[in-house]
Structure 1
């Protein structure tokens, strides 16, 4: 079985099945999605983010090597999103969807399985992906949230909203607990793990439920540009900075492959939570996930040839 089949069967297909279940149940029972979204972003998501950061094992030398690359790569995708939003003269909510879709990658339930599949014999490749994942979490709940909230709120209101968000508290707590290596009692850790384990399934179920009411025959122009920015320009930027910084071997492979992942599903979850173009966000996640089974496969093959 080739790369394309492996990636599709082991990563993309399970994601699509969970989304399909959400769509089917939504059509059958007509759930109120806003309360589910609030439950996800206020309970399940903070638990997952906290444990993700708390349990990550960082190699400080590797981390130092990657920080500059990640700043360059992220800065370039953010700049591209800002430029396209201005050139296309999109509304604020549509611009937020475009900018987030290019900068925020699905490094969790898509990226980690892909890396574990490819680098099963070399843990360094997976370690690189974990660092990218943590960085993407930080970016999602800072820059990503700012883009969403700025579509409907002033800077002062944005600051107040960010301070109140459970996900921000979880991020800060995870960083502090990780930095000081504070142990977590078992009676606290077990429910946190159970909530975190349920996060991916509930997030994909919710995304499928969102898509159930969307008329996919309406193809917003921002979707095409977001797909080009995330799945084409992203790997191109990565290749440029990898060669410029002289990164080689497994680290270069892992970074290049990580740049090809589709738009983060969290963009759709957060958009629904804050009621900022939720349908557009959900469509972008769906299309980028489907198309990535082709583009990511091409990048994986190219990475094996170049590095």
Structure 2
């Protein structure tokens, strides 16, 4: 019960409050969601990625283990997704939206606080989460962009959009600067910190604005699809992760951190991609909202079953 209340009070309620403010202010002022989306993609997201990668010590051995897990885990999720997509006979836009809602999970503003809660601020497990967050930032800005545009644009245009994403340059720069011990000038450190601190609030606010722009309720067909996406994310995700850590026989602490990292709800990136490229915006928004609300139960259950708290 303590874990349940902690997650509710310190994670779900703060997220819900900011989302609610986005809904309210959009209803009052009719905000420009395209501008908010661009601020997230081109400013705040690269800043938090640089700050975490530059400021976190990660060994080469741990880096390799986590990347191997992540690769196999993502392939397993993708295979399960393809089976569902074929059974449901989704078209191009819905296929991309469904993939994004399951493959992209909230490893930053939800995953990091949950990691800190479950493992009492352990620096080792935090390093694991930062690596996962790095990959979960890189993939939406590459594969995610390709997926939502593949059915309506040619490769040249898609490639141009992907190469314009700052995150794909920020990651190697941050890793190289940390690896070669390159100091960050004080004024840049302060500026990056301000922008990084704004990421969570702006991403959640953008989700609220998108939800506030929706007309009417959820159709029965959309409700079914959202339920499928949420189940694949919150239930199948940690089960697949458990299978992968057993496959590689990883140590107990690393295994627990990876399973917890896989149990979090759908990423805000799926909404930002849907808004930025006009692809199934209502479905993406509802998937994030429903999975975040239900995660209070499922994430608590995962933490409890792992006995890590």
Same fold (TM over 0.5): yes
How well do the aligned residues superpose, as a CA RMSD in angstroms? 1.9
Between the aligned partners of 1:137 and 1:143, the Cα distance in structure 2 is 11
Q: What is aligned with 1:191?
A: 191
**How far did 1:291 drift?**
0.9
Q: CA deviation at 1:126?
A: 2.2
Task: Report how many residues are paired.
Answer: 306
Alignment of 1:136-155 (within 5 A): 136-155=136-155
2:257 equivalent to 1:254: yes
* 1:107 has 2:107 as partner: yes
Q: Does 1:126 align with 2:129?
A: no
Instruction: Specify every segment of 5 or more residues in structure 2 that has no aligned partner in the other structure, as ranges.
Output: none
Partner of 1:13: helix, strand, or coil? Answer: helix
Evaluate the alpha carbon distance shift between residue 267 and residue 153 of structure 1 in structure 2; reply closer, same or farther with a 3 A threshold: same
Partner residue in 1 for 2:56: 56
Residues 1:232 and 2:240 aligned together: no
| Counterparts of 2:193 and 2:167, CA distance in 1 | 16
Cα distance change on mapping 1:217 and 1:160 into 2, 3 Å: closer
- Once the 2 structures are TM-superposed, how far is the Cα of residue 121 of structure 1 from its aligned partner? 5.7
**Is the CA contact (8 Å cut-off) linking 2:141 and 2:165 kept in structure 1?**
no
CA drift of 1:55 comes to 2.2
Q: CA deviation at 1:9?
A: 0.9
Given that residues 207 and 268 in structure 2 are in contact (C-alpha distance below 8 angstroms), is that contact kept between their aligned partners in structure 1? yes
- Is the contact made by 1:41 and 1:273 (CA closer than 8 Å) also made in structure 2? no
4+ aligned runs moved over 6 Å, structure 1: none
State how far apart, in whole Å, the 2-side matches of 1:162 and 1:152 are.
15
**Is the 8 Å Cα contact of residues 125 and 251 (structure 1) preserved in structure 2?**
yes
- Partner Cα separation in structure 2 for residue 59 and residue 167 of structure 1: 22
Equivalence for 1:27: 27
Distance 1:276 1:2, change over 3 A: same
Deviates more, 1:191-200 or 1:160-169: 160-169
Q: Does 1:302 align with 2:305?
A: yes
Deviations for 1:51-82, whole angstroms, at most 9, x for unmatched residues?
23222321222222222211111111122223
Equivalent pair of 1:44/1:199 in contact (CA under 8 Å): yes
Structure 1 spans left out of the alignment, 5+ residues: none
Residue 171 and residue 190 in structure 1: after superposition, are their counterparts in 2 closer, same or farther (change >3 A)?
same
What's the offset of the Cα at 1:188?
Answer: 1.8
TM-score for both structures, normalised by structure 1:
0.93
Mean CA deviation greater in 175-184 or 235-244: 175-184
Report Cα offsets for 1:245-280 as digits up to 9, x if no partner: 112322111111111100111111122112222221
**Matching residue of 2:219:** 218
Contact 1:96 1:151 (8 Å CA) reproduced: no
Shift of 1:177: 2.7
In 1, Cα distance between equivalents of 2:45 and 2:307? 34
Q: Mark the CA change 1:46 to 1:129 in structure 2 (over 3 Å): closer, same or farther.
A: closer
Q: Distance in 1 between matches of 2:53 and 2:74?
A: 19
> CA–CA distance in 2 between the matches of 1:50 and 1:289?
26
TM-score normalised to the size of structure 2?
Answer: 0.92
Determine the C-alpha separation between the residues in 1 that align with 2:129 and 2:21: 28
CA contact (8 A) 1:23 1:208 kept: yes
CA change 1:180–1:278 in 2 (3 A) is: farther
Q: Distance in 2 between matches of 1:153 and 1:8?
A: 42
Q: What does 1:196-211 align with in structure 2 at a 5 Å threshold?
A: 196-211=196-211
